[in-house]
Amino acid sequence: MISSDEIEKMANDEEYSNKVLTDMESAIDMSKKVSEEYGYIKKMTIELLGDGNINFLAELVGGKKLEATSEENLRSQLNEIDWDKIAAEAGNSGTKIDFSV
């Protein structure tokens, strides 16, 4: 998610636009890697903030939601989850993530 203010700033500043797009690509690559590693991530939202920070919101199968401000923070939260319980609740569904933008 990019705010309309950010999009306007990107349209007027090519260097800034390139930085935001690079940050976005990096965040998407990280979310793909995390999804493949942990599975059972139903949906992940990536919010690029104007101050250069990124917020992640991961929704797991079964409805559990995680918010993180970094890959390290997201992984820490994911490591605390009882994945056997999530797998039992989910069965064989929900192991894919939609990376469409």
Q: What is the pLDDT of residues 5-18, one digit of tens each?
A: 888 988 999 998 89
Q: What percent of the chain has pLDDT over 90?
A: 22
Where in the chain are the domains?
Answer: 4-90
List the one residue out of 73, 17, 75 whose CA is nearest residue 41. Answer: 75
Residue 38 carries which side chain, given as an amino acid letter?
Y
In the predicted structure, residue 93 carries a pLDDT above the cut 90: no
pTM of the entire predicted model: 0.68
Give residue 51's pLDDT: 75
Using DSSP's 3-state secondary structure scheme, residue 67 falls into: strand
pLDDT in tens, 57-84: 999 888 889 999 988 999 999 999 888 8
**pLDDT band at 87; cut points 50, 70, 90:** confident
Question: In angstroms, rounded to a whole number, what is the distance separating the alpha carbons of residues 24 and 82?
Answer: 30
Give residue 38's pLDDT: 83
